[in-house]
Chain A
């Protein structure tokens, strides 16, 4: 906190935030103006490397981040056309994420902030996914965000800008995780989500699989039972000596996931009086989910916002968008900031 005093309070001038994201397997650096305008957004995906392992290996991810981090910083700065001295602040994903991977981005951001005498902004990864929406258009509050990714499945209510209230979360697997596990059981390589989505669209029928609603008033999610049900169907047909109908299973799985996500999200919007529903996170790329949610929101006359795909998957521009909230409130992190693999979104809300 003592470090905050050495910086001037933010002024009305434009804010140019350089943001770094290394929470999982994408190394990304962006420069974002006023939390809205993306001047550069470089993403180096390690997906090809991790495919060989059938999933993200934390140690390998951390090693890859170190290899490319300064090259990414340089290219992001050059593409932005903003001289380093003109930057207003350096932002970085503080958590949640893989601790070793987070640390690479955090040390790069701390070093850059120190070298340039700029404030440091520790940023919440999920706030980033939500504020990716602001890279496209202004958000109307109160709003509801449905965050779906490989590591997260959350319903977040925002009464006003920068205030996060987690009203629902997964109790076991995240949606993306469930997709990848089911994909593996169906014989697809990692990451298998897109294969399941495609196969589900080709299916002529759907295997009926359970829906996990939990308690009637709960906004929480649970996908591990569904995943087990898929494995059971596969095992049973194999035990009968039949070839399982993989497409029907994929569609049955997808329909179960989507029905629960859509119903809970729509109910959350209705019960909280949210003006918009924001779909965010990497699983927002899922065609089945986008279509079902769009159709339902249309019926219910709910405004649905989905950022373009490049801002749905992990990227630093979204971190720059979220960090702008803290820039405006002047909440900077000290150089002693820690990586927080379990950082709380609610606690990250801006101060009143």
Chain B
């Protein structure tokens, strides 16, 4: 069964347009074949299809050979996530391929942490699609293993002191495991909650490192409130989302036989539009 799945989802095309970078990857199983990361201009609708064509060309993969599509569903720029999701579901529908939405924050966090710990994408090739790996369902409480894991906190600025963020725990060579769902949070409250969570852990069970990564520029100061608790274990590392990490997470889902229903795949905005929120409040 798992062999059959692996075979039928060998080449994955993955992309993300939720942030300032337009990220595209072509994967063979868990191996990165080619990627395109465009950060020159934030005009992802203009460059996405040509970036896909270029990545496929460089990978030597014809689109007819693809076995799955993966895309970052956000959270992030509303327009950006619609570009990736619309493209993913249209490609998947028209080429009759499975489609897997992935968290853009998971890709951002994985990349920032992996870079910070000198792990190239190849270090995770074996982990992608590994059936042994326990679930990544949103909000799942991790059974923290004996060795203290590292924490990953991806940040995407959401204006007015808010961030799109989540919490993952990770160990070298393994894909991160989710501890908190993707959401929009006030950075100040988020760091307070994280501090509380750290304090609740016995000192030996606390993470060996805590990585704030992604769009850290505006939020580094807020993250520093954890310094007294963590000292040198607090890491703040700016990172731009890259195709390889989205590719690994997409391949992971598809290789494990997971996919989403193509027609109902939608972006994860994490919140109502302003107009809907006002209406709900009776304004």
Contact = CB atoms under 8 A, between A and B. Distances in A.
Asked if A and B are interacting partners, one says yes
**Size class of B's contact patch?**
20 to 34
Contacts of B50: 335-336
B45 A107 contact: yes
B279 A335 contact: no
Contacts of A100: 78-79, 82
A114 B87 CA distance: 10
B266 to A, nearest CB: 6
Contacts of B72: none
Contacts of A230: none
A106 B90 contact: no
Contact of A107 (B90, B269, B274): B90
Tell me if B's interface is mostly helix, strand, loop or mixed.
helix
A62 B90 CA distance: 16
Interface stretch (A68-76, A135-143, A261-269, A321-329): A68-76
A36 interface: no
B85 A66 contact: yes
Interface of B: 43, 45-50, 52-53, 63, 78-79, 82-83, 85-87, 89-91, 93-95, 262-264, 266-267, 269, 273-276, 279
Contact of A66 (B93, B95, B266): B266
Interface stretch (A51-59, A207-215, A308-316): A51-59
A106 B83 CA distance: 9
Nearest to A67: B266
10 contacts: A59-B273, A63-B269, A74-B93, A100-B82, A103-B86, A107-B90, A110-B49, A114-B63, A115-B90, A335-B53
Interface residues of A, number: 33
Contacts of B90: 69-70, 73, 107-108, 111-112, 115
Contacts, number: 98
Interface of A: 52-53, 57, 59-60, 62-63, 66-67, 69-71, 73-74, 84, 99-100, 103-104, 106-108, 110-112, 114-116, 335-339
Given A66-B86, A100-B79, A338 B266 contact: no
Given A60-B275, A70-B90, A70-B263, A335 B82 contact: no
B78 A59 contact: yes
A141 B260 CA distance: 51
Contacts of B43: 338
A205 B139 CA distance: 66
A59 B91 contact: no
Contacts of B275: 53, 57, 59-60
Nearest to A114: B49
